[in-house]
Amino acid sequence: MTSSRKTKVAIIGSGNIGTDLMIKVLQTAQHVEMGALVGIDPASDGLARARDLGVPTTHEGVEGLIAMPEFADIDIVFDATSAKAHVHNDALLRPLGKRLIDLTPAAIGPFVVPAVNIDEHLDAPNVNMVTCGGQATIPIVAAISRVVPVAYAEIVASISSKSAGPGTRANIDEFTETTSGAIARVGGAQRGKAVIILNPAEPPLMMRDTVFALVSAPDPGVHDEIRQSVEKMVADVAAYVPGYQLVQRVQITEIPGDQPVETLLADGADRPTHQVSVFLQVTGAGHYLPAYAGNLDIMTSAGLQVAERIAAAKAAQA
């Protein structure tokens, strides 16, 4: 027997990410509904929009959320603050039985990338959505590693500096560390590296992501399998991030014998034969943020996808 009751969610963080996520929940969610939006600035645009839309609010942070009468009915809490703040929020909320979906790079809970491993951690009390660059590129690394072992994967996420707010800028170090770890743990690479570029160009550029993977694929037939796997994965991600797309055909090139790739490999790893290069673009859906802010849109879309799956599983068991 299934329940028709939607699962109530709260969002901590009334900035760009939290506000965009709120509007996505209000406009597109099937299994979850807004219970509260939480901020620390009473004059924030996000809290003002929430009040106009009839969403309960507090400007007193997580402590204010816990004090709200609506708190008892909330099952899932999104955290769209910062890595440091999430440690505090998790310590207060988890003992009260709330499920946390972490949109910061704090990485307290297991990494989740919906197109890759969404069903593996549905029961986890806290799941981490890695980073915007991780959500865009780890599916590609995983798609390649399903065909051939990936000895090394490097991702470069280039985003408009206008779409990088104070939270994003404060988390740059955590971005590189968290994304690099998830490239290996979720993507399946033996070693991973992540680079983020804040591009100040005007007009603002769309989010672009590049994936370089070193593999052993001397058989040309395997090259077609790699391309097909990547193209299928792009379609899987685009199912919940419509602006996610390949910008050119997957490139697979032989690594010259004099190229010193050994410095990139794990100890004892065999020398790879080919480099796989994948070039992506993420255009935002425009729910609250401009289209160039695909880096923020992919985070909110991925987070909502996880909440919807958790809520659907809960309803199926009711």
Is-contact 142 119, C-beta < 8 A?
no
Residue 44 is labelled as binding a ligand: no
164 is in an annotated binding site: yes
Does the annotation list 169 as a binding residue? yes
Annotation-wise, does 295 bind a ligand?
yes
Alpha carbon distance 49, 38 (integer Å) = 12
**Considering 22, 100, 132, 278, which one is annotated as catalytic?**
132
User: Is residue 15 part of an annotated ligand binding site?
Assistant: yes
Was 291 annotated as part of a binding site? no
CB-count exposure of residue 4 (10 Å: 0-12, 13-18, 19+): exposed
Query: Is residue 46 annotated as involved in ligand binding?
Result: no
Judge whether 14 is annotated as a binding position: yes
Q: How far is CA 293 from CA 1, 182, 281, in A?
A: 41, 22, 11
What tokens appear for 160 in the block?
């408009």
Q: Does the annotation list 168 as a binding residue?
A: yes
- Please indicate if the annotation marks 29 as binding a ligand: no
Long-range contacts at 28-32 (CB < 8 A, ≥ 24 apart): 28/287, 28/304, 29/304, 29/307, 29/308, 30/308, 30/312, 31/6, 31/7, 31/307, 31/308, 31/311, 31/312, 31/315, 32/6, 32/7, 32/8, 32/76, 32/304, 32/307, 32/308, 32/311
Backbone angles phi, psi at 262, to 5 degrees: -60, -30
Contacts of 3 (CB under 8 A, 6+ apart): 315, 318
Annotation marks residue 132 as catalytic: yes
Residue tagged 């919906």 (tokens): 114
Helical (H) or strand (E) element with 101: strand 99-102
Within 13 Å, how many C-alpha atoms sit on residue 275's CB side? 16
Tokens linked to 257: 């014998």
Q: Is 165 annotated as contributing to ligand binding?
A: yes
Task: Classify burial at 125, counting beta carbons within 10 Å of its beta carbon; exposed 0-12, middle 13-18, buried 19 or more.
Answer: middle
Q: Which residues are catalytic?
A: 132
Question: Can you say which residues are annotated as belonging to the binding site for NAD(+)?
Answer: 14-17, 163-171, 295
Question: Can you say which residues are annotated as belonging to the binding site?
Answer: 14-17, 163-171, 295
